[in-house]
Every structure is written in C-alpha cells, then in structure tokens.
C-alpha cells in the first residue's frame, strides 16, 4: 500500500513539474514573440521617412521648438534607450497620442476595434458555413464538375483584388439593385438615432442594437454589413474550402475509411463523421488563422466600404503621417494574431491526444 501511494504521489509530482515547465515555456514564448513584435514596429517607426517631430509641430516650427520636442520625446537618446522606453510604455498601454484625434491611441483602438471584430467574425462564420461543405463535396467527388467548380471559385477568391470586388459589389447590389445598404455602418438618420437610443455595451452595432431592442436600427446595420462581410467571407471561404478539400482527400484514402465502407457504414457517416472528425484538429487551426488574417487584412475592405474599423483607422493615420496611431494599431493587430495562434494551439492539444503527449 505504501509503495502504491508513493508511486501515485511521485506521478502527481512529475505531472505537476511537467505542467509548470510547459506553462513557463508558454510564458517565455509569448514574451519573446511580443518583444519581437515590439522590435519590428519600433524599427519600422524609425526607418519610415517621416519626421515625428515635424508631424507634431508642423512645417512652421522653429529650430528651437524642434530641438525641444526631440529632447522631450527622447529622440536624442541612443536607439537601445529609445527601445527600452518604447517597450515600457507599450506594456503600460501607452501607445502615444494620435495627431488626428488628439486622444490616446489606445482609446481610439478600443473605439474602432469592435467594428473590425464584428465584420471579421461574420465573415469567418460565412467562410466556415460555405467553405467546409464545399471542400467536403469537392473531396468526395474528385475530378467531377462539382470539384472543378469549387476549385474555380477558390482560385477566383485568391485572384480577384478585394478592392475591385468591393467596388463591383457596391455598384451592383447597392447602386443598381438597392438590395443592401451603402458604405458605413448605418445610414445618417440611423446614426443619429443610435447615438441617442443605443447604449454602447460591446461596440458591435448588431449586438448592441439587439440588446437595446432597437430592431429598426438593427435591420439597417444588418443591411450595411452584409456586403463587406460577404466580400471578406468569400476570401475566407476560398481558403477554408481549399484546405478542407486537401485534408479530406488525404483522409478518404486511409485504410480505416476503406474498412468502414466494407463494414457497410453509410457513406454520409463515413464522410461527415469519421473523416471530418479526423480533420477537425488541423481545420480548427486553418479557421483560426483565417480569422486572424481577416482581422489584420481588412484594411482595403474597410477603406472601400468606409467601415469605421481598425483598418480604416490605420489607413487614415498613415496618410496623415500619424506614426503613433499606425504603430499602436499594428501592435494591437499583431497581439490579436499571437493570441489567436495561442488559442488554436490550445484547441489542437485539447482535441488531439498526440499533441498532448
């Protein structure tokens, strides 16, 4: 009995040490990745041919004012000292003040990011709902008309510029057919109503209007988000369908699939239960990466549709030489990308025992 208890306690201690070691490795990896992100944004901020002092003070500033501003901003310090100050400020949430809005960059990001999150989330949902069935259909009938059609649609999704697709969508579905709302999140009238009647809970207009029971504003917001979400969702669908097809083709050639068919298992169960379940883990990673790419890559879509999200905010800041806003927005996008990768790794280990081992 004593030996068994000692063995159990020794195994528990080993598992605890292993868990602690894994947690420390995770923390170290996250810290190194975030530090690398800060280093990249810092270097970009220094090599961009834009003088931050000139952007702040304007061309009419005197040499004395320019020199005083450089000293106040620490631009006369060695680069390693500047980087240390930059890391310290970033870790405390201080990304500087935007020249466009005269507000702290972090406050601006908190205000505009929910719009990007809402748009990218709906686009990813559309990509999953249409991409996975399309990929499965193509894999179950390789070389057929359905397979060729899915591959063609995916190729077009990769090939067509997003700004062209967005402009054509606005021209046809908004300008000619009047099926959807135009640029922006709301019509002008509804924007005024939303400011008065819709409390900001999440910053996502569909959720906030639903919580407030303002269904007329909800309907108007829905008509505005359909087209940009469909454009982004098309690109997500192209990627997800292509990867789903590739994963399914590999699984459908495995011996366990042949065995299931020989045993008389219905084909729909072979495909949608056995094969699809075995590609769930890599597919989760694909969906998470697609979501991350939409969050960081919606700049052109937000610009075309005048969508007041993080992408449009960074674009306007770049055109206005607002380096603090550009760097702050870039750090936020990079951080979201890191967290989504971490989440996908967690799900990978959660659903795949081999990864846990």
What pLDDT score was predicted for residue 122?
94
What pLDDT score was predicted for residue 18?
67
Task: Name the burial class of residue 178, with classes exposed (0-12), middle (13-18) and buried (19+) by CB atoms within 10 angstroms of its CB.
Answer: exposed
What pLDDT score was predicted for residue 133?
93
What 3 state SS string does the chain have?
A: CHHHHHHHHHHHHHHHHHHHHHHHHHHHHHHHHHHHHHHHHHHHHHHCCCCHHHHHHCCCCCHHHHHHHHHHHCCCCCHHHHHHHHHHHHHCCCCCECCCCCCEHHHHHHHHHHHHHHHHHHHHHHHHHHHHHHHHHHHHCCCCHHHHHHHHHHHHHHHCCHHHHHHHHHHHHHHHCCCCCCCCCCCHHHHHHHHHHCCCCCCCHHHHHHHHCCHHHHHHHHHHHHHHHHHHHHHHHHHHHHHHHHHHHHHHCCHHHHHHHHCCCCHHHHHHHHHHHHCHHHHHHHHHHHHHHHHHHCHHHHHHCCCCCHHHHHHHHHHCCCHHHHHHHHHHHHHHHHHHHHHHHHHHHHHCHHHHC
Is residue 147 within 8 Å of residue 138, measured between CB atoms? yes
- Provide the token pair at 174: 């908004």
What pLDDT score was predicted for residue 5?
54
d(CA 355, CA 357): 5
Q: Would you state the torsion angle of the CA atoms of residues 254, 255, 260, 262, taken in this order, to the nearest 10 degrees? A: 130
What pLDDT score was predicted for residue 57?
67
What pLDDT score was predicted for residue 55?
64
- Render pLDDT for 280-309 as a digit per residue (tens, 0 to 9): 888 888 898 888 888 776 778 888 898 998
What pLDDT score was predicted for residue 34?
81
What pLDDT score was predicted for residue 26?
73
- List, for the chain, all residue ranges whose pLDDT scores fall below the cut of 70: 1-16, 18-19, 22, 49-59, 73-74, 297, 351-357
């Amino acid at each position: 009995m004593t030996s068994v208890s000692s063995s159990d306690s020794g195994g528990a201690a080993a598992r605890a040490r292993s868990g602690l070691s894994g947690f420390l490795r995770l923390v170290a990896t996250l810290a190194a990745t975030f530090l690398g992100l800060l280093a990249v944004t810092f270097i970009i901020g220094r090599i961009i041919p834009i003088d931050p002092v000139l952007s702040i003070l304007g061309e009419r500033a005197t040499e004395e004012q320019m020199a005083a501003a450089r000293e106040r901003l620490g631009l006369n310090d060695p680069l390693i000292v500047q980087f240390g100050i930059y890391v310290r400020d970033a870790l405390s949430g201080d990304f500087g003040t935007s020249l466009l809005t005269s507000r702290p960059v972090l406050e601006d990001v908190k205000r505009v990011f929910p719009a990007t999150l809402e748009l990218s989330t709906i686009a990813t949902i559309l990509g999953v709902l249409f991409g996975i069935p399309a990929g499965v259909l193509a894999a179950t009938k390789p070389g057929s008309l359905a397979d060729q059609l899915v591959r063609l649609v995916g190729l077009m999704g990769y090939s067509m510029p997003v700004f062209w697709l967005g402009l054509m969508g606005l021209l046809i579905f908004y300008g000619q057919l009047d099926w959807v709302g135009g640029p922006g999140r709301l019509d002008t009238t509804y924007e005024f109503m939303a400011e008065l009647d819709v409390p900001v809970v999440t910053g996502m207009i569909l959720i906030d209007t639903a919580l407030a029971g303002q269904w007329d504003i909800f309907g108007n917001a829905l008509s505005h988000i359909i087209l940009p979400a469909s454009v982004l969702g098309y690109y997500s669908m192209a990627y997800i369908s292509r990867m789903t097809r590739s994963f399914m083709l590999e699984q459908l050639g495995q011996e366990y699939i042949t065995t299931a068919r020989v045993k008389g298992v219905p084909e729909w169960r072979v495909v949608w239960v056995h094969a699809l379940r075995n590609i769930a883990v890599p597919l989760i990673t694909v969906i998470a990466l697609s979501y991350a790419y939409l969050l960081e890559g919606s700049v052109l879509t937000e610009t075309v549709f005048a969508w007041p999200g993080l992408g449009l905010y960074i674009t306007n800041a770049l055109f206005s030489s607002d380096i603090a806003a550009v760097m702050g927005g870039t750090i936020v996008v990079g951080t979201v990308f890191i967290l989504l990768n971490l989440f996908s790794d967690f799900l990978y280990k959660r659903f795949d025992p081999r990864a846990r081992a």
